[in-house]
Structure 1
C-alpha cells in the first residue's frame, strides 16, 4: 500500500484529535462506571470499523483485511496488558478516581514507544527477508512457553516488579510517596518532587514495551505495511483504557485465555516461517489473510466461551473460611492481587521484566 506523507500527516492529526477529545472527556478525576466504559469501548470499536471501511473503499479488500486481522490480534493480545495494569494499580495504590488519567497517559506513552518498535521492525523487514525466520521462531517459542504455563495450572500469586528504567528514574529523581491529585510534580520545602502519579504513568507505559516484543512480530506476520501496523496498534491501544474499566472484573474468568493466545501466536509464527521460506525460493504454500483472520476469530471465540463455561462453577459460594488468628494477615486484603487461571500476567512478570 503506497502511503503518502500527506496521508500519514492526516492520520496522525486525526489520532491526536481523538486522543485530545478523550483527554478532555476524562480530565476530571472520577470513578468510571461500567455504562460509560461500555459506551466508549463501543465508540473506539466503531471508529476502528470506520477506518477499516475507509481502507476497503480507497485501498481495496487486501489492506482492509490486513488491518482487521491486525486489529483483532492486537486487541486480543492487549487483554494480556490488562492483567498487569491491575497489578500496577495495586502496587502503587492508585486511588480509583485517578485511574482513568493514569491509563490515558500511560497508554499514550506506550503508543509512542510502540511507534519506535514498528519503525525498527519495518526497516528490518524491508531490508532483510531472513528476519521473518527470527520473528517466526520467537513467536513459536513464546507460544510454547505460554501453553506450558497454562497446562501447569493456576499460577501462584504474582507481584508487579519495576523494570530497570523505572527503578533508575525513582533513584535519580526526588519523589514524594503521597498523591497530590493529578499533579505530576509538587514543591515541598523548596524542593521539586515527583509524585506517584508520574511514576505509575511511566510504569504503565514502559511495561507495555515488554508486550510489544510479542505483538509487533505477530502483526508483521499478518501485514508488512507499516501504515497498517501502526494504525492497528493505535486503535487497539487507545480503546484499552475503557476496556480496563469494562472487563476488569471479568479478567479472572478468562481461565483459558493463555491457551487461546498461545494458539494465535503459534499460528502466526508458522505463517511467518512459511512466508520466510517462500521468500527464500522454496515452493511452500502461504496462508492468506482471510484464512488468518478466520482462524484468529475462531480461536478467540472458542477460548472465551470455554473460559466462561469453565469459570461458571467458581461463582458458587465458597465454604466458610476458618477463623483467623489475631495478627494473621488476611489473604484478600489490599494489594493481594492473584494471577488467576494461569493468566499471561505471570509470564510477563516472571520472564519479561529485564533485570527484575
Structure 2
C-alpha cells in the first residue's frame, strides 16, 4: 500500500498530463512559458486572491514573501515550533529571529491566544502554519497583526484548497504561501510553489525577487533569487487542477470514514473547527507508544509517517531561539502524532486494512495478536 498513492492518480490523469507536457515540449519555453501565467491566473481565481506568483518551491515562497516585506536581520517573526523546518529556516536564513508560540492541543495549529504575549518592538510578522490541511484561526491572528502593524504570512504548504469562514486558504492574510511538492493535495512532479497577495506592491516585489531582482531584463532593482517554477511543472499542476475538486471531496469522505472507524477504537483524532474545513494533506491521529505501533503497522504492510517528531525549538539548528521548556503542547504532540495513508484514490477496502492493522497495533491489543 502506498502512503500517498500518486501512481493511481497518474493513471487517471495520464492522458491530460501527457498532453499538457507535450505542449511544453513542442513550444520549448521551459522557463516562464505561457503555462506559467495560465496557472497563476487559474490559481488566483481559485483562491480569490488578486495576485498569484508561482515559484520554485514552497520553501522559496516563504523566502520570497519574507524578502518582499523587507525582513531585516534581528527582526522577529512569530511562528509555531510544530512544523517542518522550512518555516523557521527561511526566517533564520535572512537573519531574522523565529519566536515560537505553542499550538492548540486538538488542532496542532498555532494558538492565537498566546501570540500577543510574544510581540516585542522587534516583531515584524506573524507566520501561522496551516498544519495537516486545516487553517489556523486567521481572523484572530489578523486582528492582532493589524493592531500592532505586523504582516501575516500564511504558511499554507499543506492547506491549498481549504476554507476558513467561506474564504480560501492562501487568501486570508498579507501573503499566503503554498507548496506543490508531489505529496501535497495539489502537487507537481518535482518542486514547485506559489505565493498569493492582494497587495500590488508586494506582488511586484515578489515577481522581481523570483527572477534575481529584475524589473526588466538585466535591470536589477533589488536583491533576488533564482526562484521560478519551471513550465513543465506548471503544466502538471494545470492538468491536475481539473480533477482537484473531486479529489478534495474524496479526501473529505475518506477522513469522515476514518473518524467513524477510529471512534470505535478510542483513538484521538485531529479536531476540525466548525468555521473551517481540512483538505487532509495528512490524516493524523494521536497514539501512545508510537514507535512500537509503527513497527507493527509496518509488519502488516501499512506505511505510516510522523509529521513532526521533534519540534523546532528542540532541533539543534533552532534551539537557540527558544527555551526547551516552552511550548509543552508542541512537545507532547510531537511524541504522539502519526499519519495514516491518505489519498483521493484510497479505496474502502484499503482503508479497512489500515484500520484493522492499527487496531491490532494499539498497545492494549498487542498482547492478543
Superposed pair shares fold, TM > 0.5: no
TM-score of the superposed pair, with normalisation by structure 1: 0.26
Greater fraction of residues in strand: 2
Report which of the two has the higher share of helix. Answer: 1
- Larger relative contact order (CA 8 Å, sep ≥ 6): 1
TM-score by length of 2: 0.25
